[in-house]
Structure 1
Amino acid sequence: MQNVYHTRNSNPSQNLSRKEIIKWVNNALNIKIKELEALGSGAEYCRLFNQLRPGIINLKKVKYGSRLQSDFQSNLILLQRALHKVGLEKDIQIGRMIVGGRRENLDFAQWFKKLYDRNIHLQDTDSVMQNVSDPSKTSSSCTIVPSEMYRQR
């Protein structure tokens, strides 16, 4: 997975607004959140991360619809561990996000959107590469033929 290095002051013209991020999340997950701070529960980030790397986060452990800060913390810890599993050392400001810190939620949402955009296309590439390395998993619609077969003798 390719990381995104983002700070608050790095090229602000490329950062999405709160409304743009909300629209993206609603479209990507087919939900209807109205405020960016709703993402502080961590549940939506877990679902979005699952689109990037299915199975890294056990979605049965994600607590949806809760209003308890302890559940928000649990969800964000699941996300933090998933990021570490794929080699990303992103420090999530969990305490500030779960209490609705506007700046922290916006910063993290902008970073996550960039991470998502950079890696969503790699999810398909990774599955193809896994199929190539394990011939028993190749699909019937795609056959990989060694280049030696095309060489004329």
Structure 2
Amino acid sequence: MAAKIGMMDSAYFVGRGEILAWINSTLQLNLSKVEEAASGAVQCQLMDAVHPGVVPMHKVNFDAKNEYEMIQNYKVLQEVFNRLKITKHIEVSKLVKGRPLDNLEFMQWMKRYCDSINGGIINNYNPMERRDACKGGKEANKRTAPTHASKSASAAPKAQASHSTRKNDAHSANASHKTAKPATNAGGQAYDEQITELKLLVDSLEKERDFYFAKLRDIEILCQSPEIEHLPIVGVIQKILYATDDSPSIMAEAQAVLMQPQNQQQPLSPILETSEEKPKQETQKRKNISTIEVDMAASSTLSPRQRLSDISDVHYCGSPLTNC
């Protein structure tokens, strides 16, 4: 079932408030922020709630504050995943940082998985008793208990005040003060929600920024390759990358380069022309030298008969009896 939970699943559209209400009601905690579950202990107990006896709760640390302590909790969670053959990847390095977006996504997945087990119904599970076996579990239970006690203590004076017959200015002032305080708390909670939503928005924008920056960096490195850096289109791309304003002339120049014929020859620079003339001159010299060598070889390879005929001609012409 865990493998079927994709990124576009409806589980990833569950709000932060619903996730917190689900955690607090299931485990009897009083978390106010999703990132408070970054230690991994809450995730371990959620798996213990849906799979009783699978999680070694004595290895879970609810008092983990350092990263190495949190990593130990996630190791326990990973062992549980391996035992249950759950292929979900746990990004421990991101979760232990306490970033709201990463922890929210993982808790959304946890809720979707727990709801898929027995329809999300958890019977005969005592979360506070199970936390007693954990390191720091008793302290976590103590932090939870005063909250419920304060709620019951605040409910008792309200019931007595409703049945009281004496009404004076002091009582009315106290009543107005009590009614104003929840309004202030509600306003503070609303501000906290807005701050959390803004943090989530900033995190998502930072991820998107880093993604596109990496793409632009790859393009820049590719344009600096010696094989293609002399191409006109590469120069235009670099101008677009390094442009400081949205100038329309840059795009017009890019389109003009694309419209040029692909087989158009580029003009050679004077340096290239000079370098090409030198081989031509050297080739001509080699041809002249080879011609002279051929002539000398031809004269040296005459037959003996031809050489005698030449000698006889000289002798006859040099005789006093004959006239040349």
Q: Same fold (TM over 0.5)?
A: yes
Cα RMSD (Å): 2.1
State the Cα deviation string for residues 1-57 of structure 1 (Å, max 9, x = none).
Answer: x3253344x045862111110110000000101110111111011111001111221
Would you say the 8 A contact 1:41–1:72 is kept in 2? yes
Mean CA deviation greater in 113-122 or 85-94: 113-122
Determine if the alignment matches structure 1 residue 71 to structure 2 residue 47.
no
- Larger C-alpha radius of gyration, 1 or 2? 2
User: What is the one-letter code of the residue matched to 2:114?
Assistant: Y
User: What is the one-letter code of the residue matched to 2:2?
Assistant: N
Post-superposition, which runs of at least 4 consecutive aligned residues in structure 1 deviate over 6 A?
none
| Structure with the larger RCO, 1 or 2 (CA within 8 Å, 6+ apart) | 1
| 1: CA distance, partners of 2:120 / 2:100 | 31
| 2: CA distance, partners of 1:58 / 1:109 | 20
Question: Using a 3 Å threshold, how does the CA distance of structure 1 residues 123 and 24 change in structure 2: closer, same or farther?
Answer: closer
How many residue pairs match? The answer is 122
| Aligned counterpart for 2:20 among listed residues 22, 26, 38 | 22
| 2: CA distance, partners of 1:56 / 1:123 | 17
Aligned-partner SS, 1:54:
coil
Q: Match of 2:34? A: 36
Structure in which a larger fraction of residues adopt helix = 2
Question: Using a 3 Å threshold, how does the CA distance of structure 1 residues 27 and 95 change in structure 2: closer, same or farther?
Answer: same
Q: Match of 1:116? A: 114
Please report how far the alpha carbon of residue 122 of structure 1 lies from its aligned counterpart in structure 2 after TM superposition.
8.4
State the Cα deviation string for residues 33-91 of structure 1 (Å, max 9, x = none).
Answer: 11101111110111110011112211000011221111111111111110111111110
TM-score, length of structure 2 as denominator length: 0.35
Name structure 2 gaps, 5 residues minimum: 123-324
Aligned-partner SS, 1:100:
coil
Would you say the 8 A contact 2:95–2:102 is kept in 1? yes
| 1: CA distance, partners of 2:108 / 2:3 | 10
State the Cα deviation string for residues 76-118 of structure 1 (Å, max 9, x = none).
Answer: 1111110111111110110100111222211111111000000
Would you say the 8 A contact 2:12–2:105 is kept in 1? no
TM-score, length of structure 1 as denominator length: 0.72
Question: Using a 3 Å threshold, how does the CA distance of structure 1 residues 115 and 68 change in structure 2: closer, same or farther?
Answer: same
User: What is the one-letter code of the residue matched to 1:95?
Assistant: S
**Quick one: percent identity of the two aligned structures?**
24
